[in-house]
Amino acid sequence: MEIFSVDFGLLLDQTGGINGTGSNTKGDYSVSLIPRFSAFLGDNSEFFMSASGTADYVDETWTLVPELLRTDFSFRFDSGDFRVGRMYYSDPLGLVTDGLFDGAKLGFYTPIGILSAGGWYTGFLYKNRANIVMTEKDAEDISTELDYSEFTDTYFASRRFLAALGWEHPNLGGRVRAKLTALAQFDNTGEGLNTQYFIANMSVPFTSFIFDLGGCLELKELSGETKTALAGEIGFTWMTPASFDDRLALTGRTSSGSTEAMSSFVPVTTVAQGSILKPKITGLTTIALDYTARLAQSFALSLSSTYFIRNDFITFMNYPVSEGDPEAYFMGNEFFGWLLWSPVSDLSINLGGGIFLPSMGNVAPDAYNLWRIELNVILALF
């Protein structure tokens, strides 16, 4: 018996925030209208489509941004699944690629684990959504304001081709969840930076703890020269014996900077390592302590503390070192928290805030603190 059903939805997502640097404060506001549509096409197929129209108010300027979000067709068969379209993809560590990509992915369920292969292109994505900053030209392009008179030059993301082979076993040896991925990125911008990544991750639960360990070897090809870079992650998560659901996690992440022996690690997408200070992992070490708790059915909180350390003095430049020591390592600590309240299923109200303290480091201990407060409201209209 074939099944055919459709579902429509419309979300209103609003976020208002205030940033501060010393006595200087700035406000911003964003409102998005997000329609979605899904349809089951028989017993094994599904089509999903979503889009958004976003109005951003930053620096006293309004910008309207249309986007096609996740839009894909998926098909399940006895030994696997196939997906094509604009889909979400992340590597095992979430440090190299994490976000929406256009392409196709095929998975096979075998006795030795789940085997997968995929290929994607990034050049049709909105640049701020893709957040690809691999070269100086990428950084220049993404910082250029959207101009509808030059739409194709100011809207689209850096043009990259991605190809990935993956293996995953959910219960290796009866205990270990293991993932391996080989990922290649081919530059189509004319800059000539091609990269390959070999990524491994394992997660081991025992009693009320989970131990995570992962690493990535990167090969960078530029101007006929191949360089090597590294990144890694280690984490411990404790599900406490409290009467409510909560967990405490300690996570360390690091990547190589530019040294005589090693090149700086360059991911494909920029995954922010903080909520106020938002660098990618390139040339950094972060130590994060996170606590999350669901205190009631409709109320939860999240608290985090993240310490930032530079691994060299070249790759990470988005920091006011002129007020301190340009050859110091310890940048400071960020504290951030969220209160999450969902009084009914169609409404979510989230209040967040935090501060970054450079005085807890030696790079620029006299620099101004950075702080932010924001309110996010998501309403399901239907």
Domains of the chain (ranges; CATH) run 1-70 (no CATH), 71-375 (2.40.160.100)
Task: Output the pLDDT for position 320.
Answer: 54
The average pLDDT across 261-289 equals 93
Q: Please give the model's pTM, rounded to 2 decimal places.
A: 0.93
More confident residue, 124 or 2: 124
pLDDT surpassing 60 at residue 318? no
> 270 near 231, Cβ under 8 Å?
no
pLDDT in tens, 54-106: 999 998 899 999 999 999 999 999 999 999 999 999 999 999 999 999 999 99
- Is the distance from CB of 126 to CB of 106 less than 8 angstroms? no
Measured at the CA of 24, the angle between CA 20 and CA 30, to 5 degrees, comes to 55
Asked whether residue 150 carries a pLDDT value surpassing 90, the answer given is: yes
CB 90 within 8 A of CB 105: no
Dist. CA 53–CA 37, nearest whole Å: 15
Q: Is the pLDDT of residue 2 over 70?
A: no
More confident residue, 342 or 327: 342
Please write the tens of the pLDDT for every residue from 185-233: 999 999 999 999 999 999 999 889 999 999 999 999 988 889 999 999 9
* CA pair distance 337, 285, nearest whole angstrom: 21
Average pLDDT, the chain: 93
Q: What pLDDT band is residue 3 in, cutting at 50, 70 and 90?
A: low
The string over 286-314, giving b where at least 16 C-beta atoms fall within 10 Å of a residue's C-beta and e elsewhere, is bebebbbbeeeeeebbebbebbbbbbbbe
Residue 376: is its pLDDT beyond 90?
yes
21-32 pLDDT, tens digit each? 877 899 999 999
Confidence of residue 328 (pLDDT cuts 50, 70, 90): confident
Beta strands in the chain (DSSP E): 4-21, 24-41, 45-58, 61-77, 80-90, 98-110, 113-121, 160-172, 176-187, 194-206, 209-222, 225-238, 245-255, 284-296, 299-310, 330-344, 347-357, 370-380
% of the chain exceeding 90 in pLDDT: 82
- Burial class, 2, CB count within 10 angstroms (exposed 0-12 / middle 13-18 / buried 19+): exposed
Q: Give the total residue count for the chain.
A: 382
CA distance 281 to 97: 12
The confidence score (pLDDT) of residue 366 equals: 85
Average pLDDT on 7-16 reads 96
- Between 100-114, 323-337, 350-364, the lowest mean confidence (pLDDT) is in 323-337
Res 292 pLDDT > 70: yes
- Higher-confidence residue: 369 or 317? 369
- Where residue 291 falls among pLDDT bands split at 50, 70, 90? very high
Flag whether pLDDT at 41 surpasses 90: no
305 vs 322, more confident: 305
